[in-house]
Amino acid sequence: ISGFEKDTVIIAADTTVTMDGLILGKPEDQEDAFSMWQLLSGRTHQVMTGVAVAYLGQIQTVIVTTDVDFLRLNAAQMQSYWDSGEPIGKAGGYAIQGLGAAFIPRIQGSYSNVVGLPLVETLALLTAVIA
């Protein structure tokens, strides 16, 4: 952060999907995506985002966790979703804000966290460092 002006607000965040202690990153290929979906199918997993806000030498951080229920998918559903191209580049191999929403009957916690940035919590961090 040394390259920024001293009064620049810096926000950094990273989101990951976890299941049974495993971190599910972005699928490398179709086989990897299918493995992820088989693991997630019919179960609840966690989406975790770490957020850091820095301003004038102050740093505030938070980790937000959301529980996400995932429908049991069959091979045809997996293939169709893969063919859409949406899973590429997405942690856990799905996007709740897109077609992947059809596979998510319920979440417990922050929707925006699952999308990739927990907005309420990020605003609270911004308020804390700027106040």
State the pLDDT at residue 1.
60
Any domain includes 113: yes
State the pLDDT at residue 101.
98
Any domain includes 115: yes
Q: How many CA atoms lie within 13 A of 101 on its CB side?
A: 6
Please choose, from the candidates 73, 120, 72, 95, the residue with its C-alpha nearest in 3D space to the C-alpha of residue 15: 95
Please choose, from the candidates 37, 39, 63, the residue with its C-alpha nearest in 3D space to the C-alpha of residue 117: 63
Catalytic one among 14, 29, 67, 83? 14
Is residue 14 annotated as part of the catalytic site, yes or no?
Answer: yes
Q: Is 0.85 surpassed by the pTM of this model?
A: yes
Residue 48: in which H helix or E strand, if any? strand 44-55
Any domain includes 118: yes
Any domain includes 1: no
Any domain includes 5: no
Mind listing the pLDDT tens digit of every residue in the chain (131 residues)? 667 777 899 999 999 999 999 999 999 999 999 999 999 999 999 999 999 999 998 999 999 999 999 999 999 999 999 999 999 999 999 999 999 999 999 999 999 999 999 999 999 999 999 98
Any domain includes 4: no
Domain of residue 48 covers 10-130
Q: How many domains does the chain have?
A: 1
Q: Residue 122: which CATH number?
A: 3.90.950.10
State the pLDDT at residue 78.
98
